Amino acid sequence: MKKVWGLLLFLIPFWLQAEIYSLRVDGPIDTILEEYVVNSFAKIKKAGNASLVIIEMDTPGGYDTSMRAIIKAMMNAKIPCAVYVSPQGARAASAGFFIMMAADIAAMAPGTNTGAAHPVSVTGSDIEKNMKEKVTNDAAAYIKTLAKNRQRNAEMAEKAVRESQSYTAEECLKGQLIDVIVPNRSELIKQCDGKTITLHDGRAITLNMQNQKIIHLTMSDRQKFLRTITNPSLAYFLLIFGLIGLYIEFTHPGVVIPGILGGISLLLAFLAFQVLPINYVGLFLILLSIGFFIAEIKVQGFGMLGIGGIISFILGSMILVNSPIPEMRPAMSIILTFAVCFGFIFLFLTMKVFQAMKRRKETGREGLMGEYGIAKTDIDNQSGKVFVHGEWWNAVADGLIPAGSRVQVESINNLKLKVKKSGG
C-alpha cells in the first residue's frame, strides 16, 4: 500500500501540470464582469495547477463595488496574477487602474494609458462636498495600500486618484507604476519567466513559464447574453421598441405579434436597467412622451401635445442612463435617430389631422350640404321629392323645379331639404 501511495505522489505533478490562465476584461466594469472574473478565479483556485493568471484589460472604469470584489478575488486566490493593458490603444482608467495596481505583475502594451481614477458618482450627479471628500480620501488610501504592497510608486498612484492624473505606458514604467511594457501576451510570458514575486500572503514564488499551456477562460453564454443586453444603446432600443410594440397592440387588438415582441423587449430592457445606473425621472419622461404622442393622435392638440412629446422624449433619453462614463450611456446618435423618427411621425399625423379638418364632411347633415341630386317630382315651396346621395328626400324650393331637373342641396331642416335648380 505504501508503494501505491508513493507512486501516486510521484505521478501527481504530471497530472497537475502547471498552466497559464488568461481572462479578458473589456468595457465597463459592472456586476456581470465582476461575476465572470470572480467565478474564474474560483475555478482556477479549485483546479490547483495555475502558475500564472493573466488579465488582459481595456476598460474606461466602472463600479467601485465590482472593482473591489475583483481585487479581493485576485488577492485571496494566492496565485500569481498579471494585469496586462492591451491591445495598443487600450486603457485601464479609473477602476481599471486600481485593479492593475493590485496585480503581482503590472504590464502595458505600447500606446496604452492608465490613471484618471478620481471617484465620481455613478449616476453623474454631484456628490455633497463632505461626502465627496470622504470618498476621495478612502479611494486615495486604498490605492496607496495597493501600490505599497506591490512596491510601486504610491505618490503617482495617489495623484491619479486625487488629481485625475493619467499616464502613458512609458511614464508608468519610468515612474515604477508598472513592471514592463510588452507588445503582446507571448512576450509578457517570456518576461515573467524566472521572475521572483512575493504574493499578498507573503510567499515568494519564482515563475517558470517554460512549455506551459495557455487556457482561455471566457464568459458563459448567460454572461455573454446579459453583457450584450446591458449595452446602454441596446437597452435603450429595447425600451423604445417595447413601448411601440405595446402601443400597436393596445390600439389594434388582435394583431398579437407586436404585443409579444413589445412585451419581451420591455422585460429585457428592465432586466438591463437592473445593472445600468438608471435615472427614473428620465424613464418617466419617456413614458410621458409616449402619452403625449397618443393624446395628439386621439385629440386635436393642434401640435402642442406632439411638440411636448418630442421635448419630453429627448430630455428623458438624455438623462435615462446618466453616467459619467460615456460607454455606460446610450449613444447620442441613437437618441437623435429615434427623436427624428418620432418627429416625422408626429408631423405626418398632424398634417393628416389638418387635412381631415379642412375636408368637407361626407356623412350626416353636413355631408348633404352642396350635394347634387335629381328631382323625382315637381318641387315647389310646399313639397317635392329628390334623390340625393343614394337616398329619397322630401324637398322644397323657392321656385318651381320640374321633375327630372338636376338640383343642389342648399340646407336641411327637420329632415326636409331645401334645394335649388342646378345648371350643371
CB neighbours of residue 320 within 10 Å: 25
pLDDT higher at 200 or 221:
221
List, in sequence order, every residue forming a beta bridge with 396; answer none if it has no partner: 418
Of 43, 72, 134, 148, the active-site residue reads 134
393 CB-near residues (< 8 Å, 6+ apart): 373, 385, 386, 387, 415, 416, 417
Exposed/middle/buried for 225, CB within 10 Å: 0-12, 13-18, 19+? middle
**Mean pLDDT value across residues 346-372:** 64
Q: How confident is the model at residue 7 (pLDDT cuts 50, 70, 90)?
A: very low
- Is residue 14 pLDDT above 60, yes or no? no
Cis before residue 13, ω within 30 degrees of 0? no
CB neighbours of residue 361 within 10 Å: 11
Could you report the per-residue pLDDT of 293-352, keeping only the tens digit for each?
A: 777 767 765 667 778 888 888 888 888 876 767 777 787 888 888 878 777 766 676 666
Where is 298: in which H helix or E strand? helix 280-298
Q: How confident is the model at residue 15 (pLDDT cuts 50, 70, 90)?
A: very low
Report the pLDDT value the prediction gives residue 346, as an integer from 0 to 100.
66
CATH class (in words) of the domain with range 18-222? alpha beta
Could you report the per-residue pLDDT of 212-240, keeping only the tens digit for each?
A: 889 999 999 999 998 988 888 888 889 88
Of 86, 94, 289, 312, the active-site residue reads 94
Q: Would you call 134 a catalytic residue per the annotation?
A: yes
- CA 184 → CA 54, 84, 88, 181, distances in Å? 12, 9, 9, 9
218 CB-near residues (< 8 Å, 6+ apart): 24
Where is 57: in which H helix or E strand? strand 50-58
Domains 18-222 and 364-421 share a fold: no
385: cell is 321629392
SS3 268: helix
270 φ/ψ angles, rounded to the nearest 5 degrees: -65, -30
- Is residue 96 pLDDT above 80, yes or no? yes
In the chain, the percentage of residues whose pLDDT exceeds 70 is: 85
Report the pLDDT value the prediction gives residue 66, as an integer from 0 to 100.
92
178: cell is 508598472
Answer for the pair 209, 189: CB distance below 8 angstroms, yes or no: yes
Hunting for cell 482556477 — which residue is that?
44
Answer for the pair 70, 42: CB distance below 8 angstroms, yes or no: no
Report the pLDDT value the prediction gives residue 251, as an integer from 0 to 100.
67
Hunting for cell 445606473 — which residue is that?
277
Q: Would you call 94 a catalytic residue per the annotation?
A: yes
Report the pLDDT value the prediction gives residue 109, as an integer from 0 to 100.
96
114 CB-near residues (< 8 Å, 6+ apart): 85, 91, 92, 93, 96, 97, 100, 108, 160, 166, 167, 169, 172, 177
Could you report the per-residue pLDDT of 379-388, keeping only the tens digit for each?
A: 888 888 888 8
- Residue extents of the structural domains in the chain: 18-222, 230-358, 364-421
Could you report the per-residue pLDDT of 137-179, keeping only the tens digit for each?
A: 999 999 999 999 999 999 999 999 999 999 999 999 999 999 9
Residue range 364-421, CATH number: 2.40.50.140
pLDDT higher at 209 or 356:
209
169: cell is 505606458
Report the pLDDT value the prediction gives residue 178, as an integer from 0 to 100.
95
Top-confidence range, 40-49, 247-256, 408-417: 40-49
